[in-house]
Amino acid sequence: MDMKLISKDDEGTVRFLVKDTTPAFLNTYRRTIINKLPAMAIEEIEIIENSSAIYDEMLAHRLGLLVLKTDSQSYFEKENCKCKNAGCARCTLNLTIDVKGPCHVLGEHVQSKDPSVVPVHPKAVIAKLLEGQNIKLVATAILGTGKNHIKFSPGLMFYQKYPTLNTKNSKKADTIIQNCPICKPKGKILAHDLCKACLDQLENADLIQTNDKDYLVTIEPWGQLSAKEMVEGIAEVLDKQISELTKEIKKKIK
């Protein structure tokens, strides 16, 4: 397998070309990101006061989906913690909100005891408070995986066959790609991620070629983990699963 970075935007989304692989491998990585990578999210909320127009249940729902920056090296999943799921500083984190109106309650109003675990989007609106209204609560964040709830999933991965556009014998195709309003390539393009603006202008479908070994892969983080941390996490999770499978196989053989 050979990998080549193609692009990385300001929001952390990365795209790279993966050669000599199969959809089975890529789908394993995709499912691992969605279901197996641990990330922090709010699990329990103690509402001390809520005089806003938002019901307690809706407020809890919004806080549960608040994206939290995750330090997965400093925390354990509760079922794997030494406290045996009782809840301690190694597996839980308390966050508080104490805001009086009139104002918008934002992500930046969430006060965390751990400066490394804070809302990714500080301007995210949680609620609106009028004069005399206030929200006061204590929330508990834990480390979890998307297998239990999608709020713990740190992002997405998707892939497609890498399209090769043969421009050697077609000046028209080359002109279309060079003038594409979306892709805006530089120089002569022989291999290109075709967008719909390009495809709509290509009359000859034979100009586009793909194979079953080369894929364009996109990793889109939601903010809990960076793309690099997600890739590293894939390796750790799969290595752990393989080790567990090896142990089970050895037990059966004995």
Same domain, 135 and 82: yes
Band (pLDDT 50/70/90 cuts) for residue 190 is very low
Same domain, 142 and 69: yes
Residue that is last in its domain, among 152, 174, 189: 152
Same domain, 52 and 144: yes
Domain that holds residue 166: 2-35+155-253
**By the 8 A CB rule, do 231 and 218 touch?**
no
**pLDDT tens digit sequence for 220-240:** 999 999 999 999 999 999 998
Specify the number of domains making up the chain: 2
Q: How many CB atoms lie within 10 A of CB 205?
A: 8
**pLDDT tens digit sequence for 4-13:** 888 888 888 9
Same domain, 12 and 51: no
**By the 8 A CB rule, do 17 and 3 touch?**
yes
Same domain, 74 and 104: yes
CATH of residue 70's domain is: 2.170.120.12
Same domain, 129 and 165: no
CATH of residue 204's domain is: 3.30.1360.10
Give alpha helix (H) positions in the chain: 23-35, 56-64, 171-178, 196-199, 227-253
Same domain, 44 and 124: yes
Same domain, 17 and 52: no
Rounded Cα distance, 222 and 229, in Å: 12
Phi, psi of 41 (to 5 degrees): -155, 155
Same domain, 127 and 183: no
- Overall pTM > 0.75: yes
